[in-house]
Amino acid sequence: MRRKYILLSILLVCLFATFNTNAANSDTTKLYSITANASKDIAAAVKQAKAENKHLIIQAGGNWCSWCLLFEKTVKNDFQLDSAIKANFIVYHLNYSKENQNDEVFAKYGFPQRMGFPVFLILDKEGKLIHTQNSSYLEEGRGYNKSKVIGFFGDWSVAALDPKNYPTQKK
């Protein structure tokens, strides 16, 4: 009988330790910084995008947004999606929360929060907004549709918008 109590105690300690570790990890895995200077960070990201000949994709949302976190998890856990975003974009997570709504930045880009979260902004390498994407068009059921996300990344890559890739037909 004593042996059962010891085993049960060990099991409970292990479960408690696992729970605390997972809770600590989830608290430290924040995509969005509520204290970041978004204007300064976006300017630096645009500079990096220009240097690397990429576009900047801004994922606007917050750590409170389950769809924001799901998008990040979906992309990171799929080799093809992760490769596509890394090859074509510099990524910035723009915070929107009760602590910091980044009003000036959202106003600068035409109030994309009207579409809900996450919402994606594509900036060219000069920092000009070239597309705002409502994430609902990338969703399917309780997740994201891989082919729609791949299409989104491809449609807004530097190569896709380069006129040299679309030879004109002569009549």
Give me the residue spans of the domains in the chain.
38-161
Each residue's pLDDT tens digit, 80-132: 999 999 999 999 999 999 999 999 999 999 999 999 999 999 999 999 999 99
pLDDT at 17 over 60: no
Pick the CATH number of 38-161 from 3.40.50.460, 3.10.20.70, 3.40.30.10, 3.40.50.300: 3.40.30.10
97 token code pair: 């929360």
Higher pLDDT pick, 7 / 154 = 154
Residue with tokens 């900036």: 123
* b/e per residue 72-110 (b: at least 16 CB within 10 A): bebbeebeebeebbeebbbbbbbbbeeeeebeebbeebe
**CA nearest neighbour of 76 among 63, 86, 65, 66:** 86
Using H for helix, E for strand and C for coil, what is the string for 7-59?
HHHHHHHHHHHHHHHHHHHHHHCCCCCCCCCHHHHHHHHHHHHHHHCCEEEEE
Residue 14 pLDDT: 45
Each residue's pLDDT tens digit, 28-87: 469 999 999 999 999 999 999 999 999 999 999 999 999 999 999 999 999 999 999 999
* b/e per residue 112-126 (b: at least 16 CB within 10 A): bbebebbbbbbbbbe
What is the share, in percent, of the chain residues with pLDDT greater than 90? 80
